């Protein structure tokens, strides 16, 4: 007899769906079949039983300096994730100048341990600091990456924007170092020099409305940066993931590269699937709420993102969850679009939103839904025991009611920023229960987990 059996549900994995019971012993799935018996049993009749979601792009307790910190910490952010059916997240390590991987790892682990509700890994940011100080010699980037890999980190964030950005030579050297450990570079790809020029011109002309955020970050510049990154990855010979894709030109760039044999992968996010540039015309601070980078695009691009995830031109959906408080958005708005902190909350709505507008509309099947949200993110990011319902895998299990309804309002959601750009949107489907390694975390709309119940998961490389 098993510890727990989830009975009578429809099990959905990325390759097939079927009626089955799911048996759990301890933290692991032990069996799938019919007529299984457990000391404890949950009736999932009429529900979909799916692998817990894997969100490989979240910002928690992100400190940008000057008192500007993203609004969700490791507890509130992962609790909201669990309410949405996500059981694994990957936030970021941000080394300060002079810090090595161990210093920033210990600092962020100290913030996360005792707080996280779901399991997690880390992305290591490789910024200019990985090329200076103790890492300033020709072999520095290799040592930085190898020291990160020794901590169980296999994914590395490279920026082409902001203060963390690397020039082309350093990007290439970072990719060489990442290839040496079998890792995966994940890219924020924009042409920041040209963007900065357009922003400066707009500000000088007094064009400060939030709509200028999109107009000063042209899609062509984003696609140019992506093409440059893919050319480097092709030359080095390693896979590469492009974060937060929201326009057709980037989709086409990734598609062409894949046809030519490059292991290029693209992620999109809910904001690019549910919002378009009309949101910049919302009143007051609501226009500032939707500022993020890269920006949301016109309606044709939004529709193209749905087609791209349906046909595998893009391979996964994460959130880039990075909200700031209403007060911080208002403060930025008062100074101009270029001062609005970028980021939106999506960590809780992702999986239900993809079901509602993808599966329930017939655009793609439930198997593709699971592949986008769980299975492929786990494989690409090296989570060996995540993303699949099968014996030996972690018992990260979501019971999902396909006939339920979910209303997105700031009052109903569990994110702590106090607002949502999706206010009033009603979705088909509802997360009934979320389990992490055999422990119930959310049950029938109530949080029943424990602060600090999540675990750090070490990874060693891409699983493709």
Phi, psi of 454, rounded to the nearest 5 degrees: -75, 165
Query: Residue 379's pLDDT is what?
Result: 99
Q: From 326, 406, 437, select the one nearest 51 (Cα to Cα).
A: 437
- pLDDT at position 278 is 99
Q: What is the mean pLDDT of the segment spanning 415-443?
A: 99
Please, where in the chain does CATH 3.20.20.140 lie? 52-380
Q: Is it the case that residue 137 has pLDDT exceeding 90? A: no
| Confidence (pLDDT) at 97 | 82
pLDDT, residue 43, reads: 99
Domain 2-50+391-447 is of which CATH architecture? Answer: Roll (2.30)
Does residue 133 surpass a pLDDT of 90?
Answer: no
Per-residue model confidence as pLDDT tens digits over 233-248: 999 999 999 999 999 9
Q: What is the pLDDT of residue 59?
A: 99
Q: At what angle do helices 248-259 and 219-236 cross, to 10 degrees?
A: 20
- Residue 350 pLDDT exceeds 90: yes
**pLDDT for the residue numbered 132:** 83
3-state secondary structure of 430: strand
134 pLDDT exceeds 90? no
Q: Which position has the token pair 């893919």? A: 230
Contacting residues for 432 by C-beta, under 8 A, at least 6 apart: 47, 399, 400, 401, 404, 443, 444
**pLDDT range class, residue 96, cuts 50, 70, 90:** confident
* Mean pLDDT value across the chain: 98
Q: Residue 98's pLDDT band (boundaries 50, 70, 90)?
A: confident
Mean pLDDT of 73-78: 99
Cβ neighbourhood burial of 120 (10 Å; 0-12, 13-18, 19+): buried
Average pLDDT of span 379-405 = 99
SS3 231: helix
Tell me how long the chain is.
464
E strand spans, 136-258:
155-159, 184-188, 240-242
Topology at the third CATH level for domain 52-380 = TIM Barrel (3.20.20)
> CATH 2.30.40.10 in the chain, residues?
2-50+391-447
Residue 373 scores a pLDDT above 90: yes
Using 50, 70 and 90 to split pLDDT, how confident is the model at 262?
very high
DSSP letter, residue 52: P
Number of Cβ within a 10 Å radius of residue 253: 25
pTM of the model: 0.98
Residue 83 to residues 72, 78, 113, 440, Cα–Cα distance (Å): 14, 9, 20, 11
**pLDDT for 204:** 99
> pLDDT tens-digit profile of 281-323?
999 999 999 999 999 999 999 999 999 999 999 999 999 999 9
């Amino acid at each position: 007899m098993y510890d727990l059996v989830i009975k009578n549900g429809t099990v959905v994995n990325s390759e097939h769906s079927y009626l089955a019971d799911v048996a759990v012993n301890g933290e692991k799935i032990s069996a799938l079949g019919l007529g299984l018996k457990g000391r404890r049993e949950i009736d999932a009749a009429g529900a979909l039983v799916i692998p817990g979601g894997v969100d490989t792009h979240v910002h928690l307790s992100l400190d940008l300096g000057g008192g500007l910190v993203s609004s969700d910490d490791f507890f509130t952010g992962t609790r909201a994730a669990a309410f949405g059916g996500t059981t694994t997240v990957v936030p970021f390590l941000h080394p300060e100048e002079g810090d090595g991987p161990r210093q920033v790892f210990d600092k962020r682990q100290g913030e996360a341990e005792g707080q996280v509700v779901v399991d997690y890994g880390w992305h290591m940011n490789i910024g200019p600091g990985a090329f200076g100080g103790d890492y300033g010699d020709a072999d520095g980037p290799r040592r930085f990456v190898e020291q990160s890999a020794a901590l169980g980190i296999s994914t590395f964030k490279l920026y082409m924007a902001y203060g963390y950005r690397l020039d082309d030579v350093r990007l290439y050297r970072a990719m060489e170092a990442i290839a040496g450990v079998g890792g995966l570079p994940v890219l924020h790809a924009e042409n920041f020099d040209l963007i900065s020029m357009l922003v400066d011109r707009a500000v000088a002309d007094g064009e400060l409305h939030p709509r200028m955020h999109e107009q000063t970050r042209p899609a062509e510049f984003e696609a140019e940066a992506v093409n440059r990154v893919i050319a480097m990855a092709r030359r080095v010979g390693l896979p590469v993931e492009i974060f937060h894709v929201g326009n057709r030109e980037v989709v086409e760039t990734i598609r062409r590269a894949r046809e030519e044999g490059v292991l290029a992968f693209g992620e999109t996010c809910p904001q690019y699937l549910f919002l378009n540039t009309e949101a910049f015309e919302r009143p007051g601070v609501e226009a500032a709420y939707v500022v993020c980078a890269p920006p949301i695009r016109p309606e044709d691009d939004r529709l193209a993102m749905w087609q791209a995830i349906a046909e595998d031109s893009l391979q996964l959906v994460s959130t880039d969850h990075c909200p700031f408080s209403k007060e911080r958005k208002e403060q930025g708005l008062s100074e101009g679009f270029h001062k609005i902190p970028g980021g939106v909350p999506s960590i809780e709505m992702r999986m239900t939103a993809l079901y509602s507008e993808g599966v329930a509309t017939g655009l793609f099947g439930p198997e593709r839904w699971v592949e986008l949200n769980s299975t492929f993110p786990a494989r690409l990011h090296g989570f060996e025991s995540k993303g699949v319902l099968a014996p030996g895998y972690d018992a990260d299990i979501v019971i999902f009611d396909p006939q339920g309804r979910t209303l997105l309002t700031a009052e109903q959601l569990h994110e702590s920023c106090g607002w949502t750009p999706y206010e009033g949107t009603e979705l088909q489907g509802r997360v009934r229960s979320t389990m992490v390694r055999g422990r119930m975390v959310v049950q029938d709309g109530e949080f029943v987990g424990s602060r600090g119940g999540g675990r750090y998961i070490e990874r060693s490389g891409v699983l493709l």
